[in-house]
Structure 1
Amino acid sequence: MSDIKLLITFKDDLYNYSIEQLRYIPVEGVWSIGQMYDHLIVVAHEYLDRMEECAALNEEQPFGKTQFGEQLFEDGGFPPIKIRLPDELNAPPNNSDSKEELISRMEQLIQRMTHWETKVDYIHPTKKSEHGGFGWLNAKEWYDLVGMHFRHHLRQKDELERYLA
């Protein structure tokens, strides 16, 4: 499944939830489905911002990825584990958006991804910006990271849906 089709599937799934289900926090320290969506959307835009930074760069960057970054891209995605960021980077996502707001935000993200889908391959691969954990990524890698991140959260989505059953 292409990354854009994956995002469309995520967006379409929003229609199946009530506002109570979107905001339901099953256990302290566990996000609601709405918070997971907020997180995915915010991070995707951060990755696309970095992709656009690469597109605007004039200088080339000789540095590469970290060992974890190399493994991530070699595997084509995140390992099947829960990843917890340090507390200072792990503020709880927004849990107040309506279903309509989340759908609109997903549509905007899909439009942005679609806009760049055919352009990203033409951005020179030596124009890079640094990711704190993965090292120096080029525009295509930042773009691909969006889909990898969404796929990584499929397990969390399934887990959160089981709480609703």
Structure 2
Amino acid sequence: MFNLGDKVSVLDDTIDGVVTGFQNQKIVIETTDGFVMAFAENELVKISTSEDLQSFTTNQQLLSALKDKETEKKRSFVKEKKSRKDEFVLEVDLHIEKLVPSKRGMSNYDILTLQTDTVKGQLEFAIRNRIPKIVFIHGVGEGVLKAEIDFLLGRYEGISFQDANYQKYGLGATEVYIKQNPNR
């Protein structure tokens, strides 16, 4: 397919040159920059001259090869800036099956006590470690756990709380913001 003196272009790179020889089933070319390189036959395409213009328009293989060689347009990516506050959110799932391996033998009082103790422990942990935001996932249910959490959080100074993002958590989560005291 290729002959000595043929002008060629490399498919996956912006290298053009002239065929100068053949070596180990590869085609040796001298690039327009003067470098000698070897390529497999399927990596090269012959560049048509003005005399070959008729064959150029009818050769579908060449057209598709040149189309493959076209460089892709760079996509632009816009990086969304996030504040440091949004980087880490401590999420605590208070569903009983997430807290203990088996709730067998536990009364409703025991379950509620374990859940509220977990809230206290995680909230104290967040305050100690200066974590600005914590989300308690309590579920919807009858609202008993949510009421207990609201009562418990109301006893702390320096925190505010509200229902968490509905799109992310639905109705069953409370978001707590811890105001950081620089003297601590």
- One fold, TM greater than 0.5? no
TM-score (norm 1): 0.23
**Counting helix residues as a fraction of each chain, which structure ranks higher?**
1
Between the two structures, name the one with larger relative contact order (CA 8 Å, sep ≥ 6).
1
The TM-score normalised by the length of structure 2 is 0.21
Query: Quick check: which has more Rg, 1 or 2?
Result: 2
